Amino acid sequence: MTIYLAREASKVWRKVCAETTTELPLLREKWPLLLAGIVFQYIHGLAARGVHYLHRPGPLLQDLGFMALPELGQDKNYLSECTFVFIFFSFFLWTFHPFIYHSKRFYTILIWRRVLAFLVASQVLRIITFYSTQLPGPNYHCREGSNMATLPPPNNVLEVLLINFPRGVNLGCGDLIFSSHMIFTLVFVRTYHKYGSKRFIKLLAWVMAIVQSLLIIAARKHYTVDVVVAWYGW
């Protein structure tokens, strides 16, 4: 048994080394685009933080999804985040599977370049949209009476640039149309649908995207329109 495990570990190590040798030239060529995509994630977070200063709480808008789906409540609204984290890390690990498995349908560097390009394009549109019209946030901490619904003017530029990470990212208000979680989810699902090989996992991925949509609405993190726009946009 020990000999078998050692032999298999040796095979995996050789595969990792071979794949690393293949991917490194691509990384040297494409790293500026990858870095730009990663940096833009911070810019997107900065924009979301900025719109929080403009947010003004108000009565919840009439929403068909809110009528159809009961509220999860503050004690259960973590379910949508858990679903998103599962989708995110599942996709992240899958993009590196060519380093271990022999079945290969893409290069990891190239697929992340494409994913980041789609994310940046979506986030640019999202920033333009949520700055164009600020809606009263439906999330619990964005409602009237919450001391987090409106941010006081910043004391200095550094306070804005640090975006109160990670609390400021999770407790933002005003960045509604359209859902950032659904941008990531749909880009990941569509990417797997195109490059993945398991039909069952493709079906499961779409089911997870639908479940994620419903949980976001049930958790009152977004209005239904925020989720719908993300779907028909991609």
- Give the model's pLDDT for residue 164: 65
- Give the model's pLDDT for residue 29: 93
Just list the catalytic residues.
Answer: 181, 222, 226
For the segment 91-104, what is each residue's pLDDT rounded down to a tens digit?
999 999 888 887 77
Mean predicted lDDT score pLDDT of the chain: 89
Regarding predicted confidence, which is higher, 171 or 4?
A: 171
In which band, very low, low, confident or very high, does the pLDDT at 161 lie, cut at 50, 70 and 90? confident
- Give the model's pLDDT for residue 32: 95
Nearest to 49 by CA among 191, 172, 206: 172
pLDDT value at 226 more than 80: yes
Q: How is the chain classified by DSSP, letter by letter?
A: -HHHHHHHHHHHHHHHHHHHHHHHHHHHHHHHHHHHHHHHHHHHHHHHHHHHHH----PPPP-HHHHHS----TTTTHHHHHHHHHHHHHHHHHTTGGGT-S--SS-HHHHHHHHHHHHHHHHHHHHHHHHH-PPPP-SGGGSTT-TTSSPPPPSSHHHHHTTTTTHHHHT--S--SS-HHHHHHHHHHHHHHHH---HHHHHHHHHHHHHHHHHHHHTTSS-HHHHHHHHHH-
For the segment 131-145, what is each residue's pLDDT rounded down to a tens digit?
999 899 999 999 988
Counting residues of the chain whose pLDDT is more than 90, the rounded percentage is 63
- Give the model's pLDDT for residue 227: 96
pLDDT value at 166 more than 60: no
For the segment 193-218, what is each residue's pLDDT rounded down to a tens digit?
999 888 999 999 999 999 999 999 99
- Give the model's pLDDT for residue 165: 61
Counting residues of the chain whose pLDDT is more than 70, the rounded percentage is 93
pLDDT value at 10 more than 80: no
- Give the model's pLDDT for residue 106: 87
- Give the model's pLDDT for residue 154: 82
Please report, for the chain, the start and end positions of each structural domain, with discontinuous segments joined by +: 2-233
- Give the model's pLDDT for residue 14: 82
Nearest to 35 by CA among 124, 106, 112, 87: 112
pLDDT value at 167 more than 70: no
